Copies of this chain bind each other. A is one copy, B any other.
């Protein structure tokens, strides 16, 4: 995966973390089709980079993302729907073509606009630094964890725009906050800020705004120093496959995977380092 000049996002690495920043600050980082393509490319790049153990997605300036770009949406409405709208556009995105996602997860995840995050073999943290509206909810719900700044908030906006629950949000959200809170969030569109988000379990963590990015990097660094990247990837796949699977299938797979893990170098090093009272050294995932 080569470097690329992004226009709608920024990409950098800090310590063991890749930081992808949605970056159209004048439009509150509203999502465009092109931004989606860049995010996908950047995730492939991070997955492929041996120095990267985990990925952080955040927003430039005061917003995370205002959701779908309203001007684009209005044009879509005026054009009579999405297909007609797309006919009027030409993308030449071949330079940004990417095919990330090494984990085996259900097709619904791997082929979804953002839900393919589940197939990325490295942890993805959404660092929610400001408003997350509409379709942008799918970005943070597709991340493995959601770290909120206290000023970060979610607002669905769907029924205010005559829209529906896009991109699988109606599947994921009730599994995180329960069906009643999911309907409340989707319907009322009231703003759920960091502390309430933590209470509702929508936020995995909440931090003071000024510490949000640093704490996210610290989290990834902790994994980098202590964990087998292969273990992390394997367990991520297990959790997403298990979200909708017969327990019998899951338990059988766990048995098979555990037996296989017992034969790996990572397991031998993991036990050895523990017995010797030192930190383990595990190989990274990706290329130099």
Contact = CB atoms under 8 A, between A and B. Distances in A.
Interface of A: 70, 73-74, 76-78, 80-83, 106-109, 111-112, 115, 123, 144-146, 158-171, 174-176, 178-184, 186-189, 201, 204, 219, 222-223, 226-228, 230-232, 234-236, 238-240, 242-252, 254-255, 257-259, 261-272, 274-275, 280, 282
9 contacts: A74-B272, A145-B184, A165-B238, A166-B254, A170-B239, A171-B247, A174-B175, A179-B243, A244-B247
Contacts of A76: 262
Most buried by B among A171, A181, A226, A267: A171
A168 B250 contact: yes
Nearest to A173: B239
Given A167-B254, A247-B108, A251-B108, A162 B228 contact: yes
A82 to B, nearest CB: 5
B162 A251 contact: no
A54 to B, nearest CB: 9
B180 A146 contact: yes
Contacts of A176: 178-180
Classify the secondary structure of A's interface with B: helix
A181 B265 CA distance: 28
Contacts of A186: 235, 239
In the complex, the count of this chain's copies comes to: 3
B230 A179 contact: no
B280 A162 contact: yes
A145 B82 CA distance: 33
Contact of A159 (B106, B232, B238): B232
Given A226-B189, A230-B162, A254-B167, A81 B236 contact: no
A159 B107 CA distance: 26
B106 A171 contact: no
Contacts of A239: 165, 170, 174, 179, 182-183, 186
A170 B201 contact: no
B164 A258 contact: yes
A248 B116 CA distance: 12
Given A82-B259, A170-B242, A175-B178, 7 more contacts: A162-B268, A162-B282, A164-B231, A164-B235, A179-B239, A181-B204, A183-B239
